[in-house]
Amino acid sequence: MKNNPLISVLIPVYNVEKYVERCILSVLNQTMQEGVEVIIVNDCTPDSSMDIIAKVLNTYSDKYSHDTPMKIHIINHDKNRGLAAARNTAISHATGDYIVQVDSDDYIEPEMLATMYNKATEENADIVICDYYIQFTHHKVLCKQTYIEKDIYFGEIIAGYHTSLWNKMIKKELYDKYSIKGIEGLDCGEDYIVLLPIMYYASQIVYIPSAFYNYVKINPNSITKKMTKKVIQNIFHRIEYANQFVIKHNLKQHEKNLAHLILSDEIRLLEASLTNEYKELSILYPKANEYLASYLKETSLYNRLILNRHFRIAQFLRTTKNILKRILRKY
């Protein structure tokens, strides 16, 4: 077997003491052990996450008499730099043929690495995509991907769908050849900035209709939970990045998808009662309104109500829907 690892699993760590043990164990307990390196980046976490990780790794090391099949590397930032920076650090140290990103409050199924790597090598894939679960407090929901062909999937990514990195195994060569990395400080929508060029430059993409990743939505410390000033800035930054990408690569066929991204973020701003920010976004990208009719036709009733300023009706609809879901789960 070659000396270099086949897969690099990258795990940024910050403020996840309640979840990180399950995450690390799910990686260490993979059916594929040989040829895997695990790179853990401590982004100056203020809690006991790293102590918990140390105990888990000691147990793993003892199991194999300190000659572990997986090679574990811990990298410590000297100050908190954010998720994008932590992922960049991990990428710069990765030596595997393929990259798998795992958020430290999530966890993966035991067969994930073996199944996706085998598929990648069988079909010489640049990217392997799998389904995933969204894990709530008392239940989880299967999220199936809709991969048909690259151009359709790429357009959906521009529109803001399928933008997570964690349910994808990606050839390291794509990161290196095209100098793809996250933007430090952009910690909401950071996956989008990385995945857009990766998907654009990838040649062979394959899909496995099995769920191997568990995305946990019960972590109150998750940045995606909060509409802070920084998150708002990140929304504007992500849209401008997408806009410039479409212009640079002359992707006129995806202008509608870009418009749908902008309109979706306008809804997020209206939901948070950020009327001034909504107006600013509308003024910056007026062309998006040319696709408003098609967006309203394709989007949910809730989103249509928000865009038409029927906030109370929209909230009533969402509340009623959530109550019905809770009732139905009991039966």
How does DSSP assign 299-326, residue by residue?
Answer: S-HHHHHHHTT-HHHHHHHHHHHHHHHH
Smallest Cα–Cα separation from 131: which of 119, 145, 111, 141?
145
pLDDT at 156 over 90: yes
Q: What is the CATH number of the domain that holds 81?
A: 3.90.550.10
* Tokens at 239, concatenated: 């849209």
pLDDT at 315: 73
Distance between CA atoms of residues 159 and 170, nearest Å: 21
Q: Which residues contact 224 (CB under 8 A, 6 or more apart)?
A: 188
Tell me, yes or no, whether 22 and 140 share the same domain: yes
CA distances for 277 relative to 11, 261, 267, angstroms:
33, 15, 11
How many other β-carbons are positioned within 10 Å of the β-carbon of residue 261? 26
Distance between CA atoms of residues 149 and 205, nearest Å: 8
pLDDT at 291 over 90: no
Tell me, yes or no, whether 75 and 179 share the same domain: yes
pLDDT at 326: 60
Structurally, the chain folds into a number of domains equal to: 2
pLDDT at 322 over 70: no
User: Could you give the percent of the chain with pLDDT greater than 90?
Assistant: 71
In which band, very low, low, confident or very high, does the pLDDT at 319 lie, cut at 50, 70 and 90? confident
Tell me, yes or no, whether 94 and 155 share the same domain: yes
pLDDT at 297 over 70: yes
E strand spans, 123-258: 127-135, 140-143, 168-171, 205-216
pLDDT at 219 over 80: no
Tell me, yes or no, whether 175 and 247 share the same domain: no
Distance between CA atoms of residues 195 and 36, nearest Å: 23
Place of tokens 């249509």: 304
In which band, very low, low, confident or very high, does the pLDDT at 188 lie, cut at 50, 70 and 90? confident
pLDDT at 330 over 60: no
Least confident interval from 111-120, 143-152, 256-265: 143-152
Q: What secondary structure, in 3-state letters, does 13-50 show? A: ECCCCCCHHHHHHHHHCCCCCCCEEEEEEECCCCCCHH
Mean pLDDT of all residues in 288-294: 85
pLDDT at 152: 92
Give me the amino acid identity at 315.
Answer: Q
SS3 content of the chain, % helix, strand, coil (to 5): 50, 15, 35
In a domain, 281, yes or no: yes
Tell me, yes or no, whether 246 and 187 share the same domain: no
Place of tokens 């950020």: 274
Contact, 261 vs 160, CB < 8 A?
Answer: yes
Tell me the torsion sign for CA atoms 179, 183, 187, 192.
Answer: negative
In a domain, 321, yes or no: no
Tell me, yes or no, whether 244 and 118 share the same domain: no
Q: How many residues does the chain have?
A: 331
pLDDT at 15: 96
Least confident interval from 47-61, 191-205, 287-301: 287-301
In a domain, 184, yes or no: yes
Q: Is 331 exposed, middle or buried (0-12, 13-18, 19+ CB in 10 A)?
A: exposed
In a domain, 277, yes or no: yes
Tell me, yes or no, whether 46 and 168 share the same domain: yes
How many other β-carbons are positioned within 10 Å of the β-carbon of residue 5? 21
Supply the range of the domain harboring residue 179: 7-221
In a domain, 305, yes or no: no
Residue that finishes a domain, picked among 201, 221, 241: 221
CA distances for 272 relative to 199, 225, 251, angstroms:
31, 12, 31
Mean pLDDT of all residues in 216-238: 77
pLDDT at 1: 41
pLDDT at 327: 56
pLDDT at 20: 98
In which band, very low, low, confident or very high, does the pLDDT at 323 lie, cut at 50, 70 and 90? low
Tell me, yes or no, whether 45 and 116 share the same domain: yes
Residue that finishes a domain, picked among 177, 203, 221: 221
Mean pLDDT score of the chain: 90
Tell me, yes or no, whether 158 and 133 share the same domain: yes
Mean pLDDT of all residues in 30-44: 97
CA distances for 167 relative to 132, 223, 318, angstroms:
7, 19, 28
CA distances for 179 relative to 18, 186, 288, angstroms:
34, 17, 30
